[in-house]
Amino acid sequence: MILHQVETLPREDLEKLQLRRLKNSVERCYANVPHYRQAMDALGFRPHQLQSLADLVHLPFTSKSDLRDNYPFGLFAVPSEQVVRIHASSGTTGKPTVVGYTRRDIDTWSDLMARTLSAAGLGAGDRFHNAYGYGLFTGGLGFHYGAERLGCTVIPMSGGQTRKQLMLLQDFAPTGLGCTPSYALNIAEEASREAVDVRKLPLRVGVFGAEPWTEAMRQEIESRLGIQAIDIYGLSEIIGPGVSVECIEAKHGLHIWEDHFLVEVVNPDSGEPLPYGEEGELVFTSLTKEALPIIRYRTRDLSVLDPTPCRCGRTHVRMRRITGRTDDMLIIRGVNVFPSQIEAVLVEDAELSPFYQIEVFREGSMDSMMVNVEATPALVQRGAEAMVKVGKKAEKAIKDLVGVTCPVVVKGIDAVPRSQGKAVRVIDHRNR
């Protein structure tokens, strides 16, 4: 259901609203955040020069390293007593990326998450089982506040304790579920281990995100859990979950809440803006955030924007599901490979379980990779020889589809570590 009429505003009106909010936000950045003042001064840009949305290209980019250089609170645009909440996302190395919220930011975020869950097909009266991690991660509390605002009954389960999750899914009979897609499959696996048919439970919709997943993975989750699986995208720097979501009507592209976030797609190497329809790096500018307004944030996430009208009636642009990140692309003997391409091949094979990890090695100046994937219980029963055969078949499918040769090792049950939140898909041995 469309919760707010702003979601159907004609583009012209939406753009007027965006420009007004953008001017305001850029002025606040210039006045209150030394980093932004310096960055704009360096480009010879003053906030009053911003006359149209097209002028956005004259503003400086912001990157993860800017947040890191100003660790922990250096990019905050309000006095610390106005910051009512801090979240942080852990990077692979070093210090986390810290983000802050004023009371109004929390309010905006809750509204956006309510709109998000409503677009996903949930509403007042639904019971929402929230298995996103509570804590510094934005997933748990972001969903929690949004689901409450929408009028759902929230079950604040957090991540982990998969057996207990399954018990509560049966006993509390929620209609909505939130967790990472990889964790949804862990729940499905636990269910088949315990001979529980989740498809017979009242669970209807799952809102899955925080990590890349494929269309094949969606099919797998939907058929194993008997639900509609909706993709949700967001990142802490921009607000958390609630930046964009698929509508349940189309399940084809994620509507970006453009009344609060300006989106661009740029060439990841040159930073040049790209037209609608071309793949590149998503760049977001916040329009209403108070504690941590952000200008042209380079997400490193790769997508394509689709401005065509959606059958749900929303006018906000859609982004195609994330295919990968500029920094998770592997180059194997000259071929660009994204983990999502490997996943698509593995999940297609009915004899393999959707639990996999990719190992990357360096031999001399060449990178190589190997895939570890689990067999289904039925395949394990058929024995080692059958498992090797299925591995060879997957190797060939990867060669045909992706164009790289890599060994596929088919392993027994539980040989690949399960995730509680974001799955670790790539183990990089190159710099060790």
Binding site for ligand DLL (CB under 6 A): 89, 132, 138-139, 209-212, 231-236, 240-241, 299, 301, 322, 325
In the complex, least distance from residue 64 CB atom to ligand DLL, rounded to whole angstroms: 10
- For residue 133, give the 3-state DSSP assignment: coil
In the complex, least distance from residue 140 CB atom to ligand DLL, rounded to whole angstroms: 8
In the complex, least distance from residue 69 CB atom to ligand DLL, rounded to whole angstroms: 18
Which residues contact residue 363 at a Cβ distance below 8 angstroms, ignoring those fewer than 6 apart? none
Nearer to ligand DLL, 212 or 391 (CB): 212
Strands 280-286 and 330-332: unpaired
Which residues contact residue 147 at a Cβ distance below 8 angstroms, ignoring those fewer than 6 apart? 113, 114, 117, 122, 128, 130, 154, 176, 178
Nearer to ligand DLL, 9 or 88 (CB): 88
In the complex, least distance from residue 382 CB atom to ligand DLL, rounded to whole angstroms: 34
Nearer to ligand DLL, 240 or 391 (CB): 240
Alpha-carbon torsion 395, 230, 324, 68, what sign?
negative
Nearer to ligand DLL, 67 or 198 (CB): 67
In the complex, least distance from residue 209 CB atom to ligand DLL, rounded to whole angstroms: 3
In the complex, least distance from residue 432 CB atom to ligand DLL, rounded to whole angstroms: 24
Nearer to ligand DLL, 96 or 407 (CB): 96
Which residues contact residue 329 at a Cβ distance below 8 angstroms, ignoring those fewer than 6 apart? 336, 337, 338
Residue count of the chain, please give it: 432
Nearer to ligand DLL, 50 or 310 (CB): 310
Tokens 């009028």, located at residue: 151
Q: Are 2 and 116 in contact (CB under 8 A)?
A: no
Question: Can you tell me the distance from the alpha carbon of 264 to that of 242, in angstroms, rounded to the nearest whole number?
Answer: 17
| Residue nearest ligand DLL, CB atom distance | 209
